[in-house]
């Protein structure tokens, strides 16, 4: 039967059954057509999508032959994306309900990004609260031993408002932009100024100086030694380690050509550079108590970089 003739619930049921066996090209085309039809019907589809999400089961398409044809890692990811495409108050409410009931870090990050696109800043408190709860569950071993918690750390970094890099850009823009420019000067010329800024500042200005020293540490031995000294002296908090981990893993802050805004990117690292960063992260893990959020954040970056080896 054509997707246009099915009810939203029937469309959702068809989607839920797609992962039960090898997926053919015809099945993949039907899956995409069903999903497109759900999105086309807008708010009328939300109850059916939400009902399926509330069942708290997932089909991992990566584990199924032919699953790469579907364009999503799993069923829940496709349903969340459908809610994002539908948009509007009803879909936003469903996204919030799903966020409040999930403990899957990758899912949390996906929903947080979708909500922020639709209503910038409106849901930050709920997003951060859920990220904190997810990390607490991970620390207590409630997510299993192999849970990928990196997305939860990134959620905290992207949407947290207390002493984060994004907060520094908003509350101390002059210091922030200066620090980013200093970190990107050739041959490490800005390091001495960043060290002075770190020593003489407090709050977000000190945080961004430490962040930029960490950014330089992957390419500059003096910056690496300076960051190690800060770690040895206990001058880096657990929350800051969670923030530093992606930077030590390769995230780079840069100013745009006009010098009026910044971007965050991850350069393509060579195998030698990946090895160097893994060694650096392992060194800093020795300064952080095992089991803490900071330790897990550093550990996650090691795991992520390790997955890039040989590619």
Closest CA to 276 of 253, 300, 302: 302
* Angle, CA of 56, 62 and 64, to the nearest 5°: 95
Residue 67: pLDDT band with limits 50, 70, 90 = confident
Helix (H) or strand (E) holding 262: strand 262-265
CB 198 within 8 A of CB 209: yes
User: Considering the entire predicted model, what is its pTM?
Assistant: 0.58
The yes-or-no verdict on residue 157 having pLDDT over 90 is no
The yes-or-no verdict on residue 288 having pLDDT over 70 is yes
Rounded to whole angstroms, how far apart are CA atoms 156 and 246? 12
The yes-or-no verdict on residue 80 having pLDDT over 80 is yes
State residue 176's pLDDT score.
Answer: 83
pLDDT digits (tens, 9 = 90+) for 89-103: 999 999 999 999 998
State residue 149's pLDDT score.
Answer: 74
> How many residues comprise the chain?
311
State residue 36's pLDDT score.
Answer: 96
* Angle, CA of 106, 251 and 275, to the nearest 5°: 95
Rounded to whole angstroms, how far apart are CA atoms 148 and 260? 35
State residue 170's pLDDT score.
Answer: 60
The larger pLDDT score, comparing residue 47 to residue 270, is at 47
State residue 138's pLDDT score.
Answer: 72
State residue 163's pLDDT score.
Answer: 43
Closest CA to 51 of 61, 62, 38: 38
pLDDT digits (tens, 9 = 90+) for 104-117: 988 999 999 999 99
The yes-or-no verdict on residue 162 having pLDDT over 70 is no
Residue 183: pLDDT band with limits 50, 70, 90 = very high
Exposure of 259 in the CB half-sphere (CA atoms within 13 A): 6
Residue 265: pLDDT band with limits 50, 70, 90 = low
Instruction: Tell whether the torsion through CA atoms of 64, 23, 30 and 19 is positive or negative.
Output: negative
What's the rounded mean pLDDT across residues 208-216? 93
The yes-or-no verdict on residue 186 having pLDDT over 60 is yes
Rounded to whole angstroms, how far apart are CA atoms 303 and 290? 16
Least confident among 76-85, 149-158, 175-184, 185-194? 149-158
CB 95 within 8 A of CB 54: no
Alpha-helical segments (H) within the chain: 8-16, 25-40, 46-54, 75-86, 88-101, 105-118, 124-139, 150-159, 165-171, 173-183, 191-200, 203-217, 221-232, 238-248, 271-285, 293-306
Contacts of 248 (CB under 8 A, 6+ apart): 214, 217, 218, 277, 280, 281, 284, 298, 301
Closest CA to 280 of 207, 234, 225: 225
């Amino acid at each position: 039967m054509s997707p246009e003739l099915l009810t939203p619930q029937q469309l959702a049921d068809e989607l839920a059954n797609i992962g039960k066996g090898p997926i053919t090209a015809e099945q993949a085309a039907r899956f995409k057509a069903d999903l497109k039809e759900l999105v086309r019907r807008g708010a009328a589809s939300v109850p059916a999508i939400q009902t399926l999400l509330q069942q708290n089961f997932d089909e991992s398409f990566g584990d199924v032959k032919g699953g790469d044809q579907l364009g999503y890692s799993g069923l829940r990811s496709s349903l969340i994306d459908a809610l994002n495409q539908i948009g509007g108050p009803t879909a936003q409410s469903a996204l919030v309900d799903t966020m409040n009931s999930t403990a899957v870090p990758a899912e949390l990050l996906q929903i947080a990004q979708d909500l922020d696109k639709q209503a910038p800043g409106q849901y930050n408190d709920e997003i951060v609260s859920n990220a904190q709860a997810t990390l607490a569950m991970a620390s207590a071993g409630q997510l299993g031993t192999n849970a990928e918690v990196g997305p939860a750390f990134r959620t905290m970094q992207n949407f947290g408002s207390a002493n984060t890099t994004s907060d520094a850009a908003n509350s101390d823009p002059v210091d922030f932009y200066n620090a980013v420019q200093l970190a990107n000067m050739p041959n490490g010329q800005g390091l001495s100024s960043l060290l002075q800024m770190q020593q003489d500042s407090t709050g977000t200005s000190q945080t961004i100086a430490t962040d930029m020293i960490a950014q330089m540490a992957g390419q500059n031995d003096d910056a690496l030694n300076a960051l190690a000294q800060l770690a040895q002296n206990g001058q880096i908090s657990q929350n800051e380690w969670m923030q530093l981990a992606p930077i030590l893993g390769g995230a780079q802050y840069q100013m745009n050509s006009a010098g009026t805004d910044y971007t965050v990117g991850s350069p393509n690292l060579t195998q030698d550079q990946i090895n160097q960063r893994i060694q650096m992260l392992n060194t800093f893990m020795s300064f952080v108590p095992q089991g803490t959020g900071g330790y897990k954040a550093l550990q996650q970056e090691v795991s992520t970089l390790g997955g890039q080896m040989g590619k």
